[in-house]
Each structure stands twice: as structure tokens, then as C-alpha cells.
Amino acid sequence: MELTLVTLNWFDVISVALTFLVIFLVQVLNVYLHILNDKADNAKSTDVVDKAPAKECPILESPVSPIATSPPKSPTNSNGKLLEKQASLLDTDSHEDEDTLSLENLFPCDQTEIYASKKISFIIDELIQTEVNYVNNLKKGMLNYGKLKDVEDVPEGLSGEAKQRLLLGNVEEILELHEQEILPLMLRNQRDLKGLFDEFAVHFEKNRFYCYVSFTMGKKSSMQLRQDHREWLQTYQTSIKDKLGIDSFLVQPIQRLTRYPLLLQQFISEFYKSGISCKPVLSAVCKLETRMRRALDVVNQAEEIPNIEELNELDLLQLGNFRRSTEFDAHHFPTRKKYRAKIFLFDRSLVCTEIRKKRLAFRQHYLWENVELQRPLELATSNANKTINLLVKQQEGGSSSSSSSASSGKREEFSFVASEAAVVKQWLQATHKIIEIARNEHARRNTFSLPMDLVIGVVISIWLIWQYL
């Protein structure tokens, strides 16, 4: 048996090596582009409600309550050029956060004078210690009530995974966020306040605290379930020797979310009183406090969603994440009906409800890819700056409310009139970003594309076969 030696020249070696190198580089490029796309999508989605300028930090004189919060007032400055930017909660198209544009915020400052203040040190210690207590209380509550379905005499209305989820909501998800993310970042940044505030703000920018919105939307069902089985729950509470009970356990998430901005406001107030000159820390805490209050606004508004009549839970799952709600005077053109409306913005659709005293009656909902928002053309009217017209795609054979909308394939559906022009400006900025994100997602779903590495791999394989065979 003879062995045949294969002779290779440099051309063969280089060709094969180049082939594998190209495939490797294509794979690396694909991963890099995928990461960039994910970052861009996350930035767009979080900018809808989170990103905001934070040049200076407003001090609220009234405490933040879990019932309602107010948007930050725009501070004044000597130049007066930032007032227009800071007046809008959502105006982030033309600039970055103001703190990132300031050179002095890019360099670390001496935080010794901050810790020298006993009041500020006490506030930081309270922030961290209450976070430890919060995590421990949630863990204890989950230990007491997280396995009710396994209790022998549990009533049928509380048995099963579905009822357990309905009773406790997503407390386990909230616990995981604070135990694995928030508490560790506080502990490792105890001596670096700027790092603590910056890392904390990132979680709001990434919408990680949306779990509180989901928890709030399920609160009504949980309260009803607890009321229906109050006697059994009290008996079970006595048997496990729980002094507080399930009601106290389930109210803690909202109490904790409300407590954050209060502590930060105390920190900022003492910061100014002490005359500390460490501006990077001040800028970071202002940015975080602003995001916290806006997250709390969304949580408070989400509490009304379960009160919408004729809107079942299955619909909510299809609407996407909730973003904000706003009241308008609505005029529905097809029915010529006028009423006071509350409009709810979700990632995938807009929901219109009619306000009837303490009730919300569901009226219409529209997917973002099917609607367009416009300002009225009649600029002479006094309400022009306070009005938004909602147009929907014209159906085949449908009638149009105006010749202009018919020629463009759309018809006027609603006219929304706000109490102030600033409300319309903020609302349009939010909706335009949501619509852009929704349309991009819709376009990606309807577009077929082959992976780049697959296409190049096939081409290279064909070339190799033709070259050597």
C-alpha cells in the first residue's frame, strides 16, 4: 500500500485560510450589527418615557404621593436657553442629557465633603438599609404566601398556578430585580455616589422597573381575590404567626417605589444647603430623581387600566407595554359624538375611553401602523395649538369625512382637544416615537431576509467546488 503525499502550494493554503477568515469576520460583523440594533431599539423604546435633560434639579416642595405626582418644573438660568428644552418631558430628538454635555461632569470630583455631612450620610445609609429591609420583607412574604397552592386546606378559589399569579401578581419578578440588581449596585457603590446614581438610572432607562406597572395593573384583581377569601387568609395568617398579613406584604412594592424620590429629594436639598461643589454627583442624582418620578407617574396612571369597561385581560397582553394616559375633549367624527376622553398609549396601539364620572367606558382602539396624527390646518382658530386630529387608513369602499383625507387614503376619525398646548406637544412627541417603533417592528415582521453569513458561505462554497473539483 503506497502512501501518496499531497503537495500544497501557497495559493491553496492562502485560499483556504482566506475562506475561513472571511466566514469568521462575517460572523463577528453579524454579532456586532445585532448588538447595535438591539441597543438602538432599546434606546428608542426607553426614550419614549425615560430620557430627559437634567442640567439642574428641581426641588419639589410637596411630597411625592402614590396617588399622583407632578412633572418637574423647568428651572431658570442666566442664559434662558435651556428652558424650552427642559419644559418638555419627552423632547430628546435634538440633544443628549445635559449632564453628559458638560465637561466638568466627565471628571471625578472629591466626594469627601459629601460624606462629611452627617445628614447626607444618614440619607445614604437610610437608602441602603431600607433597600435591605425591603428585599428581606419581600423574601419573607414570598415564603409565607408564595406556596399557598400547596397548603392542604386551601380553598378552590386560591388553588392552582393561575390563582397564585392573580393573588400575588409579579412580586417574584420585583424581588428578583431588587435582590440581584438594585441592592448589589447600592452595596458596591456606597463610597461612589455618582456611580450609584448612574447605575440606578440605567435600570430606569432600560425599562427594568416596568414590573411595577404590571404589578399595579393586577392590583385590582388581587384585592378582589383577597376580599373573597378574607376569612381563610386571616386563619392562615394566624397559623403561620404572621403579624402583618398579606395586605401589608402586597402594599410594600408601591410604598418602596414612592419612597425613592422622597429620599433623593432630601439628598438634593441637603446638598444645596451644605454648599457642596461636587456637580457630577448632583447632576447624576437629579437625572435619577427625574426618571423615578416619571416612572411613578406611569405606575399611577396604569392603576386606571383595569377600570376600563369591556377591556379584558387578553386584550392587554396584545397591546404591549403601557406608556402614558392623557385626558382630552374628544370628537368622534363618524358618530358625531363629543365626550370627555382619556387616551391610553401602548407600544402597539392607542386606546380611547370615555370618562363617565368614576368609570371609564371603552370606545375604540387602533394599531399604530393604521393611524396618523396631525395638527389641524385651520391655524386661525384659538384651539389650533391644543388640537390633535387622528386619521385612520381608508378602507376600500369607505366614505371619507373630507376630500383631502380621501385623496391621501385616510379619513378623519377623532379630534382631541387638550387643556393646554404644552400637553399636546408632549403627547405628540411620545406618540410619534411609539408609532415609529411600531412601524419598524411591523416592517421587520413582514420582510424576509437571509442571514449574511449564509449567503456569503454559499457563494464561497460554490467557488471552492469550482476551483478544486
- Tell me the per-residue pLDDT of 364-417, one tens digit each, with 9 for 90 and over: 888 888 888 887 765 545 667 888 888 888 655 444 334 444 445 778 888 899
Per-chain mean pLDDT for the chain: 77
The pTM score is 0.72
Does residue 291 sit in the same domain as residue 347? no
> Is residue 194 situated within a structural domain?
yes
Same domain, 230 and 313: no
For the chain, how many structural domains are there in total? 2
Q: How does pLDDT run across 239-262, given as a tens digit for each residue?
A: 999 988 999 999 999 999 999 999
pLDDT at 178: 96
Q: Are residues 196 and 292 in the same domain?
A: yes
Q: End of a domain among 282, 303, 324?
A: 303
Contact 211, 152 (CB under 8 A): no
Quick: pLDDT tens for 280-303: 899 999 999 999 999 999 999 999
Say yes or no: 225 and 130 in one domain: yes
Q: What is the chain's length?
A: 469
Phi-psi region of 127 (alpha: psi -120 to 50; beta: other; left: phi over 0): alpha
Q: Which of 281, 303, 325 is the last residue of a domain?
A: 303
Residues 177/206, Cβ–Cβ less than 8 Å: no
Let me know the angle formed at the C-alpha of 23 by 22 and 26, rounded to the nearest 5 degrees: 85
Whether 319 and 194 share a structural domain: no
The answer to whether residues 319 and 298 belong to one domain is no
Provide the pLDDT for residue 374.
83
Whether 322 and 292 share a structural domain: no
CATH of the domain at 384: 2.30.29.30
- CA–CA separation, 296 and 69 (whole Å): 7
* pLDDT > 80? residue 223: yes
Which residue range is the domain that position 126 belongs to?
109-303
257/115 same-domain check? yes
Of 303, 320, 336, which residue is a domain's last?
303
**Do 170 and 195 have their domain in common?**
yes
Alpha-carbon gap, residue 355 to 361, rounded angstroms? 7
Tell me how far apart the alpha carbons of residues 197 and 177 are, in angstroms, rounded to a whole number: 16
